[in-house]
Amino acid sequence: MISQPNGSQPASRTSSPLPVAVIGGGPVGLAAAAHLVEAGLRPLLFEAGDRPGNAVREWAHVRLFSPWRYVVDPLVSRLLMAEGWTPPNPDALPTGGELVRDLLEPIATLPSLRPHLQFGTRVEAISRRGIDKVRNDGREAIPFEVRTCEGTGATKRHLVRAVIDASGTWQTPNPAGVAGLPADGERAHRDRITYGLPDCTGTARGRYAGRTVLVVGSGHSAFQVVGDLSKLRTTEPATRIVWAIRRREPGTMFGGGTRDALPARGRLGMRLRALVEEGAVDFVTGFRVHRIRESGDGRLRVTDLEGRVLGPIDEIVAATGFRPDHSILRELRVEVDPVLEAPVRLAPMIDPNLHSCGTVPPHNFEVLAHPEPDLYVVGMKSYGRAPTFLLMTGYEQVRSVVQALAGNLDAARRVALTLPETGVCSTDASHAEAFSRGGLPVAPARGTGSPTPAPPSPPACCG
């Protein structure tokens, strides 16, 4: 079935009567739809879940580092207030659940947006109508064809003039194994492994209470999980936390502390550092998961590349980040950086191997563009494997992209974005001194022997 209003064809790229497809009903996707309506364009938003913020609902228990002032798009705020919405306290820190309840659901009920939102509709593939990505001549004048599958299993085809992919990365977590590949046995023991941010003190409490839990990862997702497990242990003292990170020494992974411009992020880092220093967590450095095996007692043993073994383990939480899935764009001309899988012009601005302090440089639609005209990947997915995305970045991206699609190139190129700094710098002598003194526990030797120090290395800012 082809969905095409009045059977019309686009007169030009800026005057086409066809809608603009938006993929994803999270914060950035809904903001994109709002900007399209405000610019006089017609969005057609597809969300695989049956409600807005389907991915956010899976981490509803997590409190954001950013206060409300940093998580509401300015245009969306104006549209909502015109309908009687009362903005939350700008200095309060919302949970994921509050973000859905107090922002995403109200956006989805806006009269100007509601007719353009299709929930329970999964995008399976996108191409140019009738041609694959090999053909050159005139492809920019041919509409995109978006193929979707609804909950009933019915397949539909929708013709659109442009595509804004804000589908995120939540559904494609990184494996626990090293080198970006699943560890030996990781798939076989999938029922004992959780990826992302389980609600350890709430809905998943029974899974972790009184168990030995291995948390793999060194980012803020791992911080959240270790912190939640430590709270669980106050009422379930038999709960044991083993925390394995891949780096040889912690460097500045615990953040900027009191200097962090997002105070909640700084406090979390200080709390986790304290847990490690107190010995409340079995902290293992330089551990790169290679093999997961079940032992005779039915529990798991996890081995790294150097032959060290952690175990027995009851449950594993892989808080190792996420990666983009570009498979729906296979028949379009997509150009991504080979390292980060982000747009090639954006990647140097966000590469954690090169940029570890300060802010992300402001960027507009030109930085996000692909060789396929009128295709833009925005939001968390635009950052590929880089872990430093903030919602305000996504909102500025879609503002610029929509202005470009509307033909307002001056407005599209004019970017003003100020993001909170990390408060951490690679020249931070206090962190370097603390870790060179062995201020934190380090990796245990094979089995359950005494800790053996890992060789110190220069602190890596924000890594």
Q: What is the CATH number of the domain that holds 343?
A: 3.50.50.60
The Cβ of residue 68 has, within 10 Å, a number of other Cβ atoms equal to 20
CA gap 244, 221 in Å, rounded: 13
14 and 122 fall within a common domain: yes
Which residues are 148's β-sheet partners?
Answer: 123, 156
Residue 451 in any domain: the answer is: no
Of residues 115, 134, 144, 122, the one with CA closest to residue 4: 144
From the DSSP assignment, how many helices (H) and strands (E) are in the chain? Answer: 12, 17
Cβ atoms of 108 and 54 closer than 8 Å: no
Q: What value does the mean pLDDT of the chain take?
A: 85
Residue 62 in any domain: the answer is: yes
57 and 146 fall within a common domain: yes
Q: Strand 212-216 relative to strand 155-160: parallel, antiparallel, unpaired? A: unpaired
Phi, psi of 213 (to 5 degrees): -115, 125
Residue 456 in any domain: the answer is: no
313 and 328 fall within a common domain: no
Radius of gyration of the chain (CA): 23
Residue 418 in any domain: the answer is: no
Give the 3-state secondary structure of residue 217.
coil
Q: What's the total number of domains in the chain?
A: 2
Residue 365 in any domain: the answer is: yes
202 and 149 fall within a common domain: no
CA gap 427, 431 in Å, rounded: 9
Give the 3-state secondary structure of residue 419.
coil
29 and 92 fall within a common domain: yes
Residue 458 in any domain: the answer is: no
Rounded to 10 degrees, the C-alpha dihedral 250/252/255/257 comes to: 110
Tens of pLDDT along 391-413? Answer: 999 999 999 999 999 999 999 99
Residue 455 in any domain: the answer is: no
77 and 149 fall within a common domain: yes
- Whether residue 312 is preceded by a cis peptide bond, meaning omega within 30 degrees of 0, is yes
Quick one: pLDDT at residue 266?
Answer: 77
Taking only the tens of pLDDT, the chain with its 463 residues reads 444 443 333 334 566 799 999 999 999 999 999 999 999 999 999 999 999 999 999 999 999 888 999 899 999 999 999 999 999 999 999 999 999 999 999 999 999 999 999 999 999 999 999 999 999 988 999 999 999 998 778 899 999 999 999 999 999 999 999 989 999 999 999 999 999 999 999 999 999 999 999 999 988 899 999 999 999 999 999 999 999 999 888 877 777 666 766 677 778 888 888 999 999 999 999 999 999 999 889 999 999 999 999 999 999 999 999 999 999 999 999 999 999 999 999 999 988 877 543 456 778 999 999 999 999 999 999 999 998 788 999 999 999 999 999 999 999 999 877 655 543 322 222 222 222 223 333 333 333 333 333 333 222 223 2
Cβ atoms of 396 and 73 closer than 8 Å: no
| Domain that residue 78 falls in | 2-171+322-413
158 and 264 fall within a common domain: no
Strands (E), 196-279: 212-216, 240-244
Tens of pLDDT along 355-384? Answer: 543 456 778 999 999 999 999 999 999 999
Quick one: pLDDT at residue 316?
Answer: 98
Burial class (CB in 10 A: 0-12, 13-18, 19+), 31: buried
352 and 387 fall within a common domain: yes
125 and 203 fall within a common domain: no
**Global pTM?**
0.85
CA gap 62, 425 in Å, rounded: 27
55 and 165 fall within a common domain: yes
Residue 70 in any domain: the answer is: yes
199 and 276 fall within a common domain: yes
In percent, the amount of the chain with pLDDT more than 70 equals 84
Burial class (CB in 10 A: 0-12, 13-18, 19+), 338: exposed
Tens of pLDDT along 137-167? Answer: 889 999 999 999 987 788 999 999 999 999 9
Cβ atoms of 463 and 455 closer than 8 Å: no
45 and 78 fall within a common domain: yes
